[in-house]
Amino acid sequence: MGWLSRWKFARAGEARPFSARVVLGSGLMVEKLVYPKLPKYFNTAGPCEEADHYMVPPLPRVPEAPRIVEFGGYFVLHAPRQSGKTTFLRHFARELTAGGQYAALYISCEAAEAFGDGVASAQSHIVREIIAEASHSLPAELSPPFFDVTSQSERLLTDLLEAWCHACPRKVVLFLDEIDAVRGQSLIGVLRQLRAGFPKRPHYAPWSVMLCGLRDVREYKAASGGDATRLGTASPFNVKVKSLTLATFRDDEVRVFLMQHTAETGQRFDDDAISRVGELAGGQPWLVNALVSEIIYELKVIGGITVAHVEDAKERLVLARATHLDSLVSKLAEPRVRRVIGPVLAGELAPVDEVFNDDVSYVVDLGLVKSRPLRIANPIYQEVIARVLSNPVQESVTADPRSFIRADGTFDMDVLLREFAAFWVEHGDALTEGATYRESAAQLVLMAFLQRVVNGGGVVTREYGIGRKRIDLLVTWPHEDASGKRLVQREALELKVWRDGRKDPLDEGLKQLDAYLESLGLRDGILVLFDRRAAALPLEERTREERATTASGKVIRVLRA
């Protein structure tokens, strides 16, 4: 039986537990259920465990944490969703406890979100979580002593921590995951009690506390009800020594990660496939797992895994928009996110000020963008964002995709330009009026039209030239010649916008497109110039096609729209 068959067999529940006789230390023989060892797999739901999942070793991903604990620091770990925070915390807690010096405990505060400003209820929930988790994770001598969880004390958390730290023979280390799920006055109450205990450690307060969540501690003021536009003011957790984050997977970590599957099953990844997984995911842990899971368990690829398999998996992920991707997309309507993403999509440089810098930090914490330089975090997020924002426009596109395919199977770009120009004249004003993402509204209309007519037969790849006021698009269209040989047609487009206070972007666009075509090895391309000036002529008067030539002699079709 091959490895995939064994995996399907086991995961389908057919590898059932069986009864076995076990001799206890007293010599008594008993019957117990034995569960067969299942093959490891790529995990896309919940924390990873070494026995069950392929995984990158979690502890080296936050190398500073052990030293901060050693010196009794209170600190923050923040990173985007599904990047490995919980996996790290659980492993780190076990490692610290096993070392013999600490009693380290991990708990999740996620369920406390339901209590909102109900300080007593939220506090009681966290106290109960500490007691329950300690009973599962720590030996009895390291766990909190008996504690009256029904107490109405306003310092219930403090009372528990004082009793526990005083009774415990080791220094207590506490990891509070999903801390930013606690809201309003409840969050303030928890943070202030932790801060108040800081001088009393280790005998009456935890020696070290790590707060873990999506956002940095500077955002906790906003989460607790403060003014989100004035985040520079004091935090209720001002004893923290450092804010740490989880880095995305490096290229070498992606390779080692995927090689674990090869070692266990014999199925190999081409070198180019490994590189493409890391590139598409941008090292984001969930995306790496999701891409490979799609290839192995959904596409059910047998034998070697190639770049083509990775591209197929990427397209399926983008179309399916799994929960992870949807949770990010849901943030796009937030004003703080829009102020950052809008200029990025348009290739513009946003005005830099205190509020915008805070917005950038917030969107980086969400995992949507990376900074220095500011850009969408990875090609998959980039594709998902562009498609989500252009989806409403696609509903208005009635053109038949088959009408753009020539008799020889190639894609007709002349027809594309004519059809889009007519569509723009008829619908452009209506589709861009009041658009949420005004900076890139016109470009999104073209991308939506292009996606609609290319989808299913080809691929549209996007590149945003931040600070260069442009968007580059590459249409890749596979087809066959008369002999059946597989060929790939590539067509490059550059999109630019003429805004108030700027000169005609034609010359700059030709220069930029010349360089883009040179990098692709193409001799011709398309430049689309959207005139978004207040004094621009009506659409039907300004929409026209021209011809131009770059300095190096490349032929350019120019669509003014």
pLDDT attached to residue 505: 94
Q: What is the per-residue pLDDT for 3? A: 45
**CA quadruple 50, 55, 57, 61: dihedral sign:** negative
pLDDT for 354: 58
Write down the pLDDT at residue 231: 34
3-state secondary structure of 7: helix
Please write the tens of the pLDDT for every residue from 348-401.
Answer: 776 666 567 788 888 988 899 988 888 899 999 998 898 888 888 888 888 899
What are 140-151's pLDDT values in tens digits?
999 999 988 888
The span from the CA of 449 to the CA of 394, in Å, is: 6
Cα 480–484–488 angle (5° rounding)? 25
Which of 11-25, 26-40, 365-379 is modeled with the greatest confidence?
365-379
CB 104 within 8 A of CB 142: no
Cite the DSSP H helix spans in 168-250: 184-197, 220-223
Residue 126: predicted pLDDT: 95
Give the separation between CA 432 and CA 424, rounded to whole angstroms. 10
| The 486-498 sheet, strands edge to edge | 459-465, 470-480, 486-498, 524-531, 555-560, 544-549
The full set of domain ranges for the chain reads: 3-34, 59-245, 251-320, 394-560
Q: What is the pLDDT of residues 82-138, one digit of tens each?
A: 999 999 999 999 999 999 999 999 999 999 888 888 888 999 999 999 999 999 999
pLDDT, averaged across the chain: 87
Residue 36: pLDDT band with limits 50, 70, 90: low
19, 78, 317, 399 from 55: Cα distances, Å: 31, 20, 21, 46
Contacts 24+ apart (CB under 8 A), 304-313: 304/267, 304/268, 304/269, 304/270, 305/267, 305/268, 305/269, 305/270, 305/273, 306/270, 306/272, 306/273, 307/270, 307/272, 307/273, 307/276, 309/273, 310/273, 310/276, 310/277, 310/280, 311/276, 311/459
Query: With respect to CATH, is domain 251-320 assigned 1.10.8?
Result: yes
- pLDDT by residue (tens digit) across 489-520? 999 999 999 999 999 999 999 999 999 999 99
CATH class of 59-245: alpha beta
pLDDT at 49 > cutoff 70: yes
Tens-place pLDDT, residues 416-436: 999 999 999 999 999 998 788
Nearest to 127 by CA among 75, 194, 65: 194
> Is pLDDT larger for residue 244 or for residue 560?
560
Contact 160, 116 (CB under 8 A): no
Which of 240, 231, 235, 291 is CA-nearest to residue 261? Answer: 291
% of the chain surpassing 90 pLDDT: 60
Calpha distance 317→291 (Å, rounded): 7
Position 218 confidence tier, pLDDT thresholds 50, 70, 90: low
